[in-house]
Amino acid sequence: MSDLDAVLARIDADLDASLERLFALLRIPSISTDSAYAAHCRAAAESLRADLASLGVGAQVREVPGAHPSVVGRIDGPAGTPHALFYGHYDVQPVDPLSLWETPPFEPRIAETPDGRKIIVARGACDDKGQVMTFVEACRAWKAVTGKLPIGITFLIEGEEENGSRGLPAFVAAIKDELAADLALVCDTGMWDPNTPAITASLRGLVYTEVVVRAADRDLHSGLFGGAAANPIHILSRIVADLHDAEGRVTLDGFYDGVAEPPEEVRERWHALGLTAEGFLGQVGLARPVGESGRMVIEQIQSRPTCDVNGIVGGYTGEGTKTVIAAEARAKISFRLVGDQDPEAVANALEAHVAARIPEDCRYELIRYKGSRAIALPYDSPALAKASQALAAEWQVEPVVIGSGGSIPIVGTFKSTLGLDSVLVGFGLDDDRVHSPNEKYDLRSFHKGIRSWARILAALGE
């Protein structure tokens, strides 16, 4: 029996104990967004520190200025093997509305779905405690069987991800020498479907802004001033309408600078996945995609840049009528970025777009929130190839290499501050009810997730 076979057998035999360790972590209400739970966040960090220490990891609970603490620990691998930075988070979302939970959110349990799947139900079961523990348990099995890990690992498990990772970029910069590694491993993503694993090879970047248009120095009577006075809502509506052309492309000057096409073989693999507009949009009551024409839906949601209005307000919005011309109107506008798009350049282009449409006697303000660049793992990355082979061996199907339409800014920090590419592998499913009442994690995802990480560690150490 090979070392890997022995490790996998150990994982199978230890599953019940692995669940007990996960349940102990799930019982801690580590809600990062509510200061009332600060002590619980620290308790979760201490629990993870102790668990890692039991594996021989030199782990510490480290203070992060203005934020909940992070757990940092290091264990070296055999000479000549790579060293990886593993990232996850122990904090969870609030549980509101509590009345919609079938059982208390911090009393984890095993349940069964109508189709017979066994699931772990608790807040944090999937996001991200269950995912973190798949990696920790894989490390535990390797240590128990061989006395060592196949590669060196530095753990960084934060307590602020659900609260915007406050303070973490500065913390990472402050201890960058401690976090030196060859690559980063992240377990906070999902599968393509219940039987097909996925590697997330790219994350879109983000620019988030707020546009404020101001005209008169007060709200005006539309009967007295209508037809003569500038209307900020009209102006803002034109600004928003002009952001896209008839083909769904964003019209900002230079917006597509740095946007590259994926290799044709990658597009062919995406096409073979069969993600249709009817299948994807049908689940939310829609049928027709509105992004760039001539693009597959999977391209529109993961590999192409976008612009969306996330909120718009102005004038009277209460019950009944009030005939006014508003003094100001506001819109929150975000952009998802890909490739080498520059967040600052996109924000500057938006400001030029707005300024060109403001009448001389009106004013505007562009409020810029934080932005982040897109992240992409090279398609020819050796780490990507090894992870793919390991997942294929465990799931008996080739994994899907996809991009994520969302953004994980800390992964961008790993690239910009530490120079690390990230391999994102997770085992969440679309029906895991992440951030919602009755969050769950399939028991199969947990079990095979542990086995998958054991195989990935072996492959990286070869």
CATH of 3-203+374-461, one of 3.40.1260.10, 3.40.630.10, 3.40.50.11540, 3.30.43.10: 3.40.630.10
Biggest alpha carbon–alpha carbon distance for the chain = 88
Q: How many residues does the chain have?
A: 462
State residue 409's pLDDT score: 76
Asked if 44 and 106 count as a contact pair (C-beta separation under 8 A), the reply is no
- HEC per residue, 428-439: ECCCCCCCCCCC
Tokens of 394: 């465990």
160 token code pair: 């602020």
Q: Can you tell me the distance from the alpha carbon of 87 to that of 183, in angstroms, rounded to the nearest whole number?
A: 11
The string of DSSP letters for 207-256 reads EEEEEEEE-SSS-EEHHHHTTTS--HHHHHHHHHHTTB-TTS-B-STTTT
Q: What is the pLDDT along the chain (462 residues), one digit of tens a residue?
A: 899 999 999 999 999 999 999 999 999 999 999 999 999 999 999 999 999 999 999 999 999 999 999 999 999 999 999 999 999 999 999 999 999 999 999 999 999 999 999 999 999 999 999 999 999 999 999 999 999 999 999 999 999 999 989 899 999 999 999 999 999 999 999 999 999 999 999 899 999 999 999 999 999 999 999 999 999 999 999 999 999 999 999 999 999 999 999 889 889 989 999 999 999 999 889 999 999 999 999 999 999 999 999 999 999 999 999 999 999 999 999 999 999 999 999 999 999 999 999 999 999 999 999 788 898 888 889 999 999 999 999 999 999 999 888 777 789 899 999 999 999 999 999 999 999 999 999 999 999 999 999 999 999 999
- DSSP class of residue 37? G
From residue 4, alpha-carbon distances to 10, 197, 389, 404 in Å are: 10, 20, 14, 31
CA–CA gap between residue 95 and residue 33 (Å, rounded): 11
Detail the DSSP E strand segments found in 90-182.
109-112, 118-121, 152-158
Buried b (16+ CB within 10 A) or exposed e, 188-223: bbbbbeeeebbbbbbbbbbbbbbbbbbbbeeebebe
In 3D space, the residue among 196, 26, 195, 194 whose CA is nearest the CA of residue 126 turns out to be 26
Is the distance from CB of 90 to CB of 159 less than 8 angstroms?
yes
Spans of all domains in the chain: 3-203+374-461, 206-259+305-372
Cα 209 to Cα 207: distance, rounded to the nearest angstrom: 7
pLDDT value of residue 235: 98
Cα separation of 288 and 270, whole Å? 19
Give the pLDDT score at 408: 78
Task: Based on DSSP, count helices (H) and strands (E) in the chain, helices before strands.
Answer: 14, 18
Name the CATH architecture for the domain at 206-259+305-372.
2-Layer Sandwich (3.30)
Rounded CA-CA distance 458/462 in Å is 6
Rounded to the nearest 10 degrees, what angle do helices 443-461 and 382-395 cross at?
140
Tokens of 34: 């509510």
Dihedrals φ, ψ of 233, to 5°? Answer: -70, -40
- Cα dihedral sign, 113-118-123-124: negative
Question: From CA 392, how far away is CA 197, in angstroms rounded?
Answer: 8
Positive or negative CA dihedral for 188, 75, 69, 15? positive
Contact assessment for residue 366 and residue 209, using Cβ atoms and an 8 Å cutoff: yes
Predicted local confidence at residue 375, as pLDDT: 87
DSSP state of 92: B
Q: What is the pLDDT of residues 386-438, one digit of tens each?
A: 999 999 999 999 999 998 887 777 898 999 999 999 999 999 999 999 999 99
Helix pair 443-461, 15-26: axis angle to 10 deg: 110
Output the CA torsion sign for 23, 27, 28, 32.
positive
Main-chain dihedrals φ then ψ at residue 287, nearest 5 degrees: -140, -25
Which DSSP string corresponds to 372-391? Answer: E--EE--TT-HHHHHHHHHH
